[in-house]
A and B are shown apart, each in its own frame.
Chain A
Amino acid sequence: MDKTYLVIGDVQLVLAASLLLINIIISVVLQLGLGKQLWMAGIRSVVQLLLIGYVLEWVFTLEQPPLILLVGLIMTIMAGVSSVQRTRRRFDGIYFNSILSILASTALITGITITGIIQVNPWYDPQYLIPLLGMVLGNALTGITLAIDRFMDDLTTGRDRIEAMLTLGATRWEAAHDSIRMALRTGMIPTINSMMVMGIVSLPGMMTGQILAGARPTDAVRYQIIILFAIAAATALASIGGILLAFLRLFSTTHQLRLDRLRRLP
């Protein structure tokens, strides 16, 4: 195979890792107490990335759609689980809700992007499917975390306001409407912000990677544009799904606000 990029050797990795010394020296001098965490984070990221490199090489050799879909499903479930882990409040079924929202939104959007827009043939070609799915998942998970965290926060701090509306005859939907809107905005803000500065402040990782790998910049930006819209759509859908499922859980069909179903993490 004709390589158009420089292959990184082990010595070069060690050199790069030595850059971590800068962080550690700063931590020691300024007594930030982060030394141990920096070591841990450095080692973890190296081990995790080397491992995933091997996993991906194996995945890219796969030719059976069910096996590739299984890999995608595992990635999705992990995204769903970690989206919940960064929220400050919990209710029963929150993991199921997040996994379901992320699964439905990313499956739909990644599917449309792969088959309808990029028109990959065969559709399950892991070289396209897996990185695309990964990027969409990563952003959808941030969106859903921010959205449901904000929603649960708003219901808790705005309890008096919401119950005042319920006591005056509002339906649960009418009472929750403002909180739902705010939560959705919160979930969408990182995506909108990154679209605004795209190419000016930030050169996105995927585009940079393609350019390093020898792709023409004008081709790389086209991929980036597609992925940008896929991310925006999937994040919006995942956030809406997560909020609505939380809404159904935290407001009963008898139009009661059920904060007793919510518990705050210590």
Chain B
Amino acid sequence: MPSNYLSQQSGITPLLAVQALGRQIQNRWIWKNLQFDLYPGENLAITGASGSGKSLLLRSLANLDPIQEGQLWFQGKVLSSYAEPYYRSQVIYLHQRPALIEGSVEDNLRQVYRFNIHRHQSFDRDQILAYLAALGRDNSFLTRPSSALSGGEAQIVAFIRALQLSPQVLLLDEPTASLDLETVYALETLVQYWQKADPNRATVWTSHTLEQIHRVTQRQFNLQSL
């Protein structure tokens, strides 16, 4: 029952709590009765065969799709008690294919501050340069047009665009698929860097390689296909 659900947990309130979650597409259940928690500071992997709905689960956690059954909780409160833009500014979903707007890298990073939810924040150049320095890049990267970026560079921009907003949770949906190993490490470094700034920050990953799952996560949740 939702009312006594949280009291069953001992001690720490999970950042995200998934309760009896079910997702249906065209009358077919993709998964059902999912139950797991994401605790502060944790890095969780969602594993499962292809087609088991890993992406759908991350999308549902980001509240991008309607769910047909169950509840999501964020920081001890049911999801519907949050305004979605606020929730999504705290729990950011990162897609496998980065979608950038026309313009320079800096235009892309600044764009999000036009959203009402981020109005009280402003573009922090020093923070961005620190991120770039961690990746061995200098400030000339900021002036590159987004159309001239490689797939890996575009993903780096998408990551920084999200991280600069200081979210609590990152949902990483195969973020490094089809990227070269150097970029893969760079993106993982970036996530570690963001997580170090606040040890309560947590991540949920899906990945096509077991090596990456072992490298970046401590716990796995396996999706059984129905």
Interface string of A148-192 (1 = CB under 8 A from B): 000000000000110111111111001000000000000000000
Q: Which of A18-26, A45-53, A132-140, A249-257 contacts B (4 or more CB under 8 A)?
A: A249-257
B99, A171: Cβ atoms closer than 8 Å: no
> B104 → chain A, closest Cβ, in Å?
17
Q: Which residues on B sit within 8 Å (CB–CB) of A163?
A: 64, 95, 99
- Are the C-beta atoms of B114 and A164 separated by less than 8 Å? no
* A161 with B161: CB separation less than 8 A: no
Q: Chain A nearest CB: distance from B189 CB in Å?
A: 21
Q: Which residue of the partner chain A has the closest CB to B101?
A: A161
Given contacts A161-B101, A256-B64, contact A169 B112 (CB under 8 A): yes
- Chain A interface residue count, CB cutoff 8 Å, equals 18
B99 and A164 form a contact (CB under 8 A): yes
Q: Which of B88, B101, B165 contacts A166 (CB 8 A)?
A: B88
CB pair A256–B63 under 8 Å, yes or no, is yes
B53 → chain A, closest Cβ, in Å? Answer: 15
Question: Do the beta carbons of B85 and A160 come within 8 Å of each other?
Answer: no
- B49 contacts chain A at the CB level, 8 A cutoff: no
- CB interface residues, B 89-138, toward A, < 8 Å: 89, 92-95, 97-99, 101, 112, 114-118
Could you tell me which residues of chain B, from 152 to 194, have a CB within 8 Å of some CB in chain A? 158, 161-162, 165
Interface size of B by Cβ–Cβ distance < 8 Å?
28
- Chain A residues with Cβ below 8 Å from B65 are 256
CB contacts under 8 Å to A, within B37-82, are: 62-66
Q: Which residue of A lies closest to B161 (CB)?
A: A168
Bound complex: CA A174 to CA B85 (Å):
10
Question: Which of B63, B66, B88, B116 sits near A168, CB closer than 8 Å?
Answer: B88
The answer to whether B99 and A161 have CB atoms under 8 Å apart is yes
For the complex formed, measure the closest distance between the CB of B123 and the CB atoms of chain A, giving whole angstroms. 14
Residue of B nearest to A163 (CB): B64
| A255 close to B85 (CB less than 8 A) | yes
Which residues of A have CB within 8 Å of B29?
none
| A254: B residues at CB distance < 8 A | 63, 66, 84
Interfacial chain A residues near B97, Cβ < 8 Å: 160
Q: A167 with B115: in contact, given A252-B66, A256-B64, A256-B66 (CB under 8 Å)?
A: no
For the complex, what is the distance from the CA of A169 to the CA of B82, rounded to whole Å? 12
| Interface: B86 (CB within 8 A) | yes
